Amino acid sequence: MELEEFSKAFEAIYQLAVDGIATAPGRVNLIGEFTDYNDGFVLPCALEFNTQVAYRKRADNKVVVHSLQYPDEFDEFELNDAISAGKSQWGNYIRAVAFVLQRSGAKFSGLDLLIESNVPQGAGLSSSAALEVAVAGAFNEASNLGFTLEQLAKFGQQAENDFMDCQCGIMDQLISAKGLKNHALLIDCLSLVTESIPMPDDLILMIINSNYPRKLVDSEYNQRRLDCEQACTKLGVETLRQATMSALLAAKESMSEHQFKRAHHVISENDRVIKATQALKSNDMNELRQLMAASHHSLKNDFEVTVPATDGLVDICQSALGERGAVRMTGGGFGGAIVCLCRQEDVDVVKNAVLENYEKNFALEADIYVCQVGGGLTLQ
């Protein structure tokens, strides 16, 4: 939303002018799925969909929060008290961020907050990370806490892990904090070293949301994480980053089928991320296509996180594009979105193929986004 209009909306609610606005983007992951919490590699990029958080410092220790997406509900809580979950489902994300900041020993004052976002929620574009990073950015700026982008991203992850009960890795929050316009970000989730990779000018990024109703996503997600931990125990390594494919194959007999397959996905996926980074640098569509197809295959058969609707969308788009595009599921799985890289002249080819075949076969309507690659957290 335009800053002026957004500032006016804040004033209409609080009768006071804003001190500032923190803005953080949603993201799409090009490749490297379920590797972040295994200390592996990921290659996401930030989107021009973002979440804005307008803030004004209060004289007391109260946090009051409204969201333009939820006009009938607001939340407020005291920073003096131990922060626990409240009645507002979405308000808990703000409580979660305040909780982890307070736990770190940071001293900060209360805020009046207003949230506005055009990141589709629950579509796999990580509206939750965008919200956490923007809120953390607002607290950081309002009270001059001096945290780095990396630290703010970690607070966002801790908010999900320790308050919202979602055991996600660091990818979503780190790309939302550190993304660079028109660049993907290669993240080594072990060292948190990042490298910005320019997106080729003629590469178009499409995201297609299956709109498949996602169920049991967090419990399945947390179960996959457990499978990976158990695989590590069998392999005698701290995390799957230390495991090799040959060690995995040698240990196959001692592992359950699930442990083997989950580890097989993660180890092979790390290798694909490194290769895909090279392919992106050299704008090699053929290589990107093969790597993204292999990633999808592995997510379907080894990690078992796809559903017929997302498999179907990938098939529809890949069949329409042939060798001219790269396609796979993206995000947490069990529905959600697919990502498609292609050239401008094929955008309509993809759109038409989805319109013609998806609803007919899956009784769902897809949302198609042609996306621009945006930058990370900004403060105004």
Active site residues: 172
CB-CB contact of 25 with 375 (8 Å) = yes
- Closest distance to ligand ADP from the beta carbon of 115 (Å): 4
Note whether 84 binds ligand ADP by CB under 6 A: no
Task: By CB under 6 A, name the one of 7, 29, 128, 298 that touches ligand ADP.
Answer: 128
Q: Toward ligand ADP, which CB reaches closer, 223 or 290? A: 223
Note whether 167 binds ligand ADP by CB under 6 A: no
Note whether 117 binds ligand ADP by CB under 6 A: yes
- Find which of Mg ion, ligand ADP, none residue 69 binds, CB within 5 to 8 Å per kind: ligand ADP
Task: By CB under 5 A, name the one of 52, 128, 194, 211 that touches Mg ion.
Answer: 128
Beta-ladder partners of 259: none
Task: By CB under 6 A, name the one of 48, 62, 90, 150 that touches ligand ADP.
Answer: 90
Residues 37-66 within binding reach of ligand ADP (CB under 6 A): 51
> Residue 48 contacts by C-beta under 8 Å, 6 or more apart in sequence?
25, 371, 372, 373, 374
- Closest distance to ligand ADP from the beta carbon of 69 (Å): 4
Select the span of 30-38, 86-94, 106-114, 308-316 touching ligand ADP (CB under 6 A): 86-94
- Closest distance to Mg ion from the beta carbon of 189 (Å): 17
Q: Toward ligand ADP, which CB reaches closer, 121 or 283? A: 121
| Residue 147 in tokens | 């945290």
DSSP one-letter string for 289-311: HHHHHHHHHHHHHTS----HHHH
β strands within the chain, DSSP E: 20-31, 41-57, 62-67, 74-78, 111-117, 183-188, 194-198, 204-209, 326-330, 337-342, 367-371, 378-379
CA distance 300 to 265: 10
**Residue 255 Cα distances to 226, 230, 249, angstroms:** 14, 9, 10
CA distance 40 to 288: 19
Q: Running DSSP on this structure, what letter comes out for residue 28? A: E
Q: Toward ligand ADP, which CB reaches closer, 217 or 342? A: 217
- Closest distance to ligand ADP from the beta carbon of 91 (Å): 8
| Residue 196 in tokens | 């910005």
Residues 107-126 within binding reach of Mg ion (CB under 5 A): 126
CA distance 265 to 336: 19
Task: By CB under 6 A, name the one of 115, 207, 267, 294 that touches ligand ADP.
Answer: 115
Task: By CB under 6 A, name the one of 124, 325, 374, 376 that touches ligand ADP.
Answer: 124
Select the span of 73-81, 102-110, 113-121, 203-211 touching ligand ADP (CB under 6 A): 113-121
81-114: b or e for each residue (b if 16 or more CB lie within 10 Å)? eebeeeebebbbbbbbbbbbbbeeebebebbbbb
> Residue 190 contacts by C-beta under 8 Å, 6 or more apart in sequence?
39, 40, 239, 241
Note whether 211 binds ligand ADP by CB under 6 A: no
- Closest distance to ligand ADP from the beta carbon of 131 (Å): 5
- Find which of ligand ADP, Mg ion, none residue 361 binds, CB within 5 to 8 Å per kind: none
Note whether 127 binds ligand ADP by CB under 6 A: yes
Task: By CB under 6 A, name the one of 23, 67, 173, 357 that touches ligand ADP.
Answer: 67
CA distance 378 to 186: 20
Beta-ladder partners of 41: 188
- Find which of Mg ion, ligand ADP, none residue 131 binds, CB within 5 to 8 Å per kind: ligand ADP
Select the span of 33-41, 127-135, 277-285, 311-319 touching ligand ADP (CB under 6 A): 127-135
- Please state, as a whole number, how many other Cβ atoms lie within 10 Å of the Cβ of residue 226: 13
Total interface residues for ligand ADP by CB under 6 A: 18
Residues in touch with ligand ADP (CB under 6 A): 51, 67, 69-70, 89-90, 93, 115, 117, 121-128, 131
Residues in touch with Mg ion (CB under 5 A): 126, 128
